[in-house]
Structure 1
Amino acid sequence: MKVLSNLHDLREAKEKIETYKNEHEETFSHLLHLVNLTRQLQFKYDYLCGIIMGEDVTQVAPHFVQDSIIDLYKNEINKIDQRFHDLNALKSLLRDCRNIGYENFCLLVKGKTPEEIKGIYRSRKMS
């Protein structure tokens, strides 16, 4: 679901994500892997975050994808809890950032700035 968010909310979320990244480096690295995998598979970010949060994802689930691909994808997601035992911290971060939407959350995880997400660019002076 598309969520409109303001620049202030995006900046706050970016700070929370940076804090999480510093405190949970390995889990963040795997989260970034999942975000990139989601993009490469052309799945919706809402699908990834919904699975992590234990939500009903039937509305955003990919169609016409083989079950074996979905199983591999879900196994990658499950590694967060199996390897790092850090699922609760990630869920807490997602809850804290819920007001910006899962898509914006994932874009921030990928390294986009709040300004890039909002389409705000400073003009550069040519000297």
Structure 2
Amino acid sequence: MAYMLAGLNDLYEAKEDLEVLKQEYPELSEQLVHVVSLTRQMQLKYGYMGSLLRDEDLPEYEPKYLRGSILHLYQQEVNKLKENPSIEKLIDIMRKYKSINDSKLFLLTLGAKPELLQGSTIIK
């Protein structure tokens, strides 16, 4: 039971840090919401977006059934986010909350309530 509370506390802390990011770096936050929304609309895995932001090669997240030209457009949008001068602030948050997977972190960005994400494992 204590483990579940710690997980929920982590989600609340992450949400708070994302709010601070939104206040202190509004342009970065706006770009982040844009790319997270695009990821959701294109039905891509949030882990793919996270791996692109961290320059990691995670083949299990790479889209298999997406036209190359569409994937290229998506990657361009992620690269625009990565070119933001304040991107390290976001990367620091991602590192700090590595125990919270990318999907939960990015859903918090879109305004999801921590209680709804706590314990959820079906979102990738």
Give me the whole-angstrom Cα distance separating, in 1, the residues matched to 2:80 and 2:44: 19
Q: For residue 92 of structure 2, what is the aligned residue in structure 1?
A: 92
1:13 is displaced (CA, Å) by 0.8
Larger Rg: 1
- The residue identity in structure 1 corresponding to 2:77 is E
Q: For residue 64 of structure 1, what is the aligned residue in structure 2?
A: 65
1:57 is displaced (CA, Å) by 2.4
- The residue identity in structure 2 corresponding to 1:19 is V
Q: Deviations over 1:60-97 (max 9, x none)?
A: 11112111111100100111233x32222221111112
Give me the whole-angstrom Cα distance separating, in 1, the residues matched to 2:93 and 2:8: 18
Are 2:7 and 1:6 equivalent residues in the alignment? yes
**What's the TM-score once normalised by structure 2's chain length?**
0.85
What pairs with 1:39-50 in structure 2 (closer than 5 Å)? 39-50=40-51
Kept after mapping to 1: 8 A contact 2:53/2:82: no
Cα RMSD, aligned residues only: 1.7
Return 5+ residue gaps in structure 2 as ranges: 120-124
Kept after mapping to 2: 8 A contact 1:32/1:110: yes
Kept after mapping to 1: 8 A contact 2:44/2:63: yes
% same residue: 36
Q: For residue 101 of structure 2, what is the aligned residue in structure 1?
A: 101
Q: Deviations over 1:26-70 (max 9, x none)?
A: 111110111110011110000001100111121111112111111
Once superposed, which parts of structure 1, at least 4 consecutive aligned residues long, lie more than 6 Å away?
Answer: none
